[in-house]
């Protein structure tokens, strides 16, 4: 069998180790080991470099098993309360995977997390590139939350909120903060690019308020319109393209 150390294809397509991992065969690190050990062929050629590029239509065989990349799947979930934003829970509690049961045969994962009692938009996908783009701090994805507080927020404190609050992990300044359209001073609509853990709850806690209910009502260009609580829908191609270009 002819052995190739370097891939002569142009630098397009997908790295071989990523291709194997994305197919669900193993982790990318394990894929490196399998490739180095000489157990992978591409179009009948033995490949021993994990960084070799795989092109569309290539035949990839790993340890005598042909593998294919999964069909890309993008799901928008209107998460309900008491659902954990993980694939599995050690205590056998309900997860977001239970809410999208039957939606796809592909292995999808949530992008980021909403804590157990937070409701609203959560994206699930098997597109690792998009997940990394949206999760990385440089992505600056715009997220809008509606927070119900345990007591009214006076205008003086609303101004403090707009000016930013110092937390343990840095200065947190909302992009926008307003009373809800009904004028209820205990219901605040807050817009953030920051993706820190429990950021909205911690901001209000630092100001002496407790968040009783928290709902993420938009994520980038996506909203909850037409998706009831606990339900889901697939993203359109245009929505996926917008997410790739979002800031």
Catalytic positions: 115
Helix (H) or strand (E) holding 46: strand 45-47
The Cα 154–Cα 168 span in angstroms is 24
> 135: helix, coil or strand?
helix
- Count other C-beta atoms under 10 Å from residue 217's C-beta: 18
Burial zone of 157 (CB within 10 Å; 0-12 exposed, 13-18 middle, 19+ buried): middle
Smallest CA-to-CA distance from 8 within 43, 34, 35, 36 is with 43
């Amino acid at each position: 069998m002819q052995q190739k150390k370097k891939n002569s294809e142009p630098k397009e397509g997908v790295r071989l180790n990523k291709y194997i991992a994305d197919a669900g065969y193993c982790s990318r690190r394990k894929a490196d080991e399998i490739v180095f050990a000489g157990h992978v062929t591409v179009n009948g050629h033995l490949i021993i470099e994990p960084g070799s590029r795989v092109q569309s239509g290539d035949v990839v065989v790993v340890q005598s098993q042909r593998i294919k990349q999964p069909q890309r799947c993008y799901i928008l979930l209107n998460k309900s309360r008491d659902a954990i934003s993980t694939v599995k829970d050690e205590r056998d509690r309900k997860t977001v995977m239970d809410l999208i049961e039957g939606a796809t045969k592909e292995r999808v994962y949530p992008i980021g997390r909403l804590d157990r009692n937070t409701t609203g938009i959560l994206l699930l996908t098997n597109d690792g590139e998009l997940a990394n783009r949206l999760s990385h701090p440089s992505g600056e994805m715009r997220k809008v939350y509606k927070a119900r507080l345990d007591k009214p927020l006076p205008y003086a404190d609303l101004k403090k909120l707009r000016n930013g609050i110092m937390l343990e992990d840095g200065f947190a300044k909302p992009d926008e903060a307003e009373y809800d359209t009904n004028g209820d001073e205990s219901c605040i609509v807050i817009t953030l690019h920051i993706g820190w853990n429990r950021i909205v709850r911690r901001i209000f806690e630092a100001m002496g308020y407790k968040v009783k209910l928290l709902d993420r009502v938009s994520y980038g260009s996506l909203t909850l319109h037409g998706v009831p609580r606990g339900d889901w829908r697939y993203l359109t191609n245009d929505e996926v393209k917008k997410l790739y270009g979002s800031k």
